Amino acid sequence: MNVLVVGGAGYIGSHCVRQLEAAGHRPVVLDNLVFGHRSAVSAEIPFYDCDLGDPEAVGKILREESIELVMHFAAFAYVGESVTEPRKYYENNFVATLRLLETMLDNGVKKFVFSSTCATYGEPDTLPMVETLPQAPINPYGQTKLDVENCLKAFAHAYGLSFAAFRYFNAAGAAEDGSIGEDHNPETHLIPLVIDAATGRREHIKIFGTDYDTPDGTCLRDYVHVDDLSRAHIAVFDKLNEPGTGCFYNLGTGKPNSVREIIDAVEAVTGLKVPVVEDERRAGDPPALYADSSKAQQELGWKIRYTELKDIIETAWRWHKAHPDGFDD
């Protein structure tokens, strides 16, 4: 299938491009490189440096590349910034996505796979988190993703769009061969930050809150390997053959790990000491977030290959060791 990967030069998108190729599909990448990296995508793959909210340019790509399905990874994803600059988030994550959907419909492309997030649930009352939990985001980032989810439901009903929205927990790790990996700027994700502290690229890692009601007092999160995430996006293709289908899936391993466990695992994998500074809790950090992803496993036959934290961190370490400065461009 010819698949347009919007945001395909970013962290998760570039790994999904690899998985699409491995599964015999034909990925085409669209990315304005606001955060992505040109060298995260092989030179053989058609690459369009353009904005997803540009209907003329996107329409031309859809037609000329005979696109049958669009995967949409592009977004701004800094939770704190979304609170101070919500306009930017509504514009890029919601308005531009609406333009993209309109352009797809205008060009007869009606299959869509969307990167949503566990942030749409806000602070859950029950764990593990199932898809039917109430969705009450506590920041504009999560709200923009929920707004797109709602828009998708209406478009499926009214226009026969078929879509899958995946609510990711914490994407982690890197390609097995270490050739591509995580390189956000600024980086806010725990595993790359802990690795940087281990290698001396950062002075230390801060633990925000050591008095949570969790086994070791630090927050619990669900780290899912980026290649496992990517494979779910392909496993859902058959579901999208029926016009008007809409489905939502949590993607996480269901095995929570604490901040301290991440630090210990990085030390074990790298053989390096991680300097740690303990700090106060941050507002808006729930003690524990982890998925029940049995729906994806049962309905899509999704299999989690990276079930051990150590294996996920080993892939991340392979990437960071070989590319201490990240991508060249």
Ligand X SMILES: NC(=O)c1ccc[n+]([C@@H]2O[C@H](COP(=O)([O-])OP(=O)(O)OC[C@H]3O[C@@H](n4cnc5c(N)ncnc54)[C@H](O)[C@@H]3O)[C@@H](O)[C@H]2O)c1
> Binding segment for ligand X among 71-79, 260-268, 272-280, 302-310 (CB under 6 A)?
71-79
196-235 footprint of ligand X as x/- string (CB under 6 A): ----------------------------------------
CB closer to ligand X out of 24 and 130: 130
Element (H, E) at 140: helix 140-159
- What are the respective helix, strand and coil percentages of the chain, to the nearest 5? 40, 20, 40
Q: Tell me, yes or no, if 141 is annotated catalytic.
A: yes
Count of beta carbons in the 10 Å neighbourhood of residue 125: 10
Using CB under 6 A as the binding rule, whether residue 10 contacts ligand X is answered as yes
Question: Minimal CA–CA distance to 103: which of 52, 148, 153?
Answer: 52
CA distance 103 to 67: 12
Interface pick for ligand X out of 22, 34, 268, 322 (rule CB under 6 A): 34
Catalytic residue among 141, 212, 223, 249: 141
CB closer to ligand X out of 99 and 281: 99
Number of chain positions touching ligand X (CB under 6 A):
27
Using CB under 6 A as the binding rule, whether residue 31 contacts ligand X is answered as yes
Using CB under 6 A as the binding rule, whether residue 122 contacts ligand X is answered as no
Using CB under 6 A as the binding rule, whether residue 32 contacts ligand X is answered as yes
Using CB under 6 A as the binding rule, whether residue 181 contacts ligand X is answered as no
Question: Minimal CA–CA distance to 62: which of 7, 25, 108?
Answer: 108
Q: Report, in Å, the least distance between residue 65 CB and ligand X.
A: 16
Using CB under 6 A as the binding rule, whether residue 163 contacts ligand X is answered as no
Positions of E strands within the chain: 2-6, 26-30, 47-48, 69-72, 111-117, 162-168, 170-172, 205-208, 220-225, 246-251, 256-258, 276-279
Using CB under 6 A as the binding rule, whether residue 77 contacts ligand X is answered as yes
CA distance 164 to 239: 8
Using CB under 6 A as the binding rule, whether residue 124 contacts ligand X is answered as no
CA angle (50, 112, 66) in 5-degree steps:
60
Measured in whole angstroms, the distance separating CA 191 from the mean position of its chain's CA atoms is 14
Active site amino acids: 141
Interface positions with ligand X (CB under 6 A):
7, 9-13, 31-36, 51-53, 73-75, 77, 92, 96, 115, 117, 168, 170-171, 184
